[in-house]
Chains A and B, each alone.
Chain A
């Protein structure tokens, strides 16, 4: 099972929006609405910010939104804030009944 494909880095200025893509295959991202996204500040535990493609857990800002088209999922962060600077990972359930992560994307707030 190969890792999902994410861009290594993205950047944006405060107040702008950025989108992070997560590409998989028909046996993972494309086959299930079981894509989740995590925010990770180094040295801490990752935090779930999106589950089932586009749902937010309680307490997560509505500046975070998710979507999916075919084998590619996307995370959009609107109204960028300094505290959004972190690593972001996607994950998907797969047809083999296992989970797989993306390689991670470093978001820099300029």
Chain B
């Protein structure tokens, strides 16, 4: 059974960099037709796709975050990472890591419990 767990600071100052780690248990992130993803939900709002990294290392990002976002992976530790630069209060959200399976039509089949990151205004 695949499990994902987000970790990282819960408070980030404005203009600094938000950094989160997702640790994957029960499956290797370096194999298979999987897209390792970050998704966020601002308070009182809906889900927003941030981006994903493919097991080959290719990355894809939400155009609205281009220039500020970076997703990378470390297959030796079975982790992948989110970095979001120059944060503002609008980046306050619960951040989820998730797996999208190619054979599921890139549906997100496993999710972490989510991590709240607050950027004070």
Contact = CB atoms under 8 A, between A and B. Distances in A.
Interface in A52-110: 52-53, 57, 87, 89, 91, 93, 96-104
Interface stretch (B14-22, B77-85, B110-118): B110-118
A1 B107 CA distance: 18
Interface of B: 37, 39, 46-49, 51-52, 60-64, 96, 100, 104-109, 111-114
Interface residues of A, number: 31
Contacts of A53: 105
Interface of A: 1, 3, 32-36, 38, 40, 44-48, 51-53, 57, 87, 89, 91, 93, 96-104
Contacts of B47: 38, 40, 46, 89, 91, 101, 104
Contacts of A46: 47, 96, 108, 111
